[in-house]
Amino acid sequence: MYYFTAAFFNSKLRCVANLTILKQINRVDNLISLRSVSTQKRTCPLLSVQPVRGLLDEKFQIAVTNLPPNQKVTLHSLHQSDDKDFWEAFGHYVSDEHGSVTGFKDESLGGTYDGTEPVGLLWSMRPIPGSRHGLRLRKRDIFRPMEVRISVYNGHLSQGFSHQAPLATSVTERWYVAPGVKRVNIREKEIRGTLFLPPGSGPYPGVLDLWGGGGGLVEYRSALLASHGFASMALEYLAPEDLSLEDTDASYFEKAYQILNNHPMVKKDHLAVLGLSLGSAITLNMVSYSKVIKPQCCVCISGSHLMPVEKSLSELFELMKNHEDKLCVNEDNQVIYRNLILSLPCQSGKVDVGRIKCPLLLVNGDDDQNFPAVESAEDMAMMMDKAGNRHLLEILTYPDTGHLIEPPYSPHFRATKYKLQWTKERIVMLWGGQTKPHAYAQEDAWKKILAFLWQHLSAP
Whether the bond into 203 is cis, omega within 30 of 0? yes
Q: Which residues contact 122 (CB under 8 A, 6 or more apart)?
A: 77, 89, 148, 174, 409, 410, 411
- For residue 243, the model assigns a pLDDT of 66
3-class DSSP state of 140: coil
* 360-409: pLDDT as tens digits: 999 999 999 999 999 999 999 999 999 999 999 999 999 999 999 999 99
pLDDT for res 108: 98
Residue 16, CB-side half-sphere exposure with 13 Å CA sphere? 3
CA of 105: how far to CAs of 96, 115, 118, 443, in Å?
Answer: 11, 9, 8, 18
**Is the full-model pTM beyond 0.75?**
yes
284, 353 Cβ separation under 8 angstroms: yes
Query: In sequence order, what are the residues at sequence separation of 6 or more whose Cβ sits closer than 8 angstroms to the Cβ of residue 40?
Result: none
* Alpha helices (H) along 364-424: 373-387
Q: For residue 371, how many other CB atoms are within 10 A of its CB? A: 30
Residue 330 scores a pLDDT above 90: yes
Q: How far apart are CA 319 and CA 245, in angstroms?
A: 14
pLDDT at 20 over 80: no
Burial class (CB in 10 A: 0-12, 13-18, 19+), 14: middle
Strands (E), 72-181: 72-80, 86-94, 101-102, 126-127, 146-154, 168-175
Q: Which residues contact 149 (CB under 8 A, 6 or more apart)?
A: 25, 77, 78, 79, 169, 170, 171
What pLDDT is attached to residue 11?
A: 42
Whether the per-residue pLDDT at 22 is higher than 60: the answer is no
With a cut of 70, say whether residue 300 has pLDDT above it: yes
Q: How far apart are CA 95 and CA 58, in angstroms?
A: 25
Q: Is the pLDDT of residue 27 over 90?
A: no
Least reliable range by pLDDT among 114-118, 236-240, 291-295, 296-300: 236-240
Question: Which has more confidence, 48 or 1?
Answer: 48
List the catalytic residues: 277, 368, 403
Q: Reduced to 3 states, what is the DSSP secondary structure of residue 242?
A: coil
How high is the pLDDT of residue 348? 57
CA distance 289 to 259: 19
Q: Residue 101 pLDDT more than 90?
A: yes
Count of beta carbons in the 10 Å neighbourhood of residue 431: 27
For β-strands 426-430 and 393-398, DSSP reports them as unpaired
> Sign of torsion, CA 221 130 421 247?
negative
Handedness of CA 33, 37, 40, 41 (dihedral sign): positive
Query: If we measure between CA atoms, which residue out of 125, 132, 52, 121 comes closest to residue 84?
Result: 132
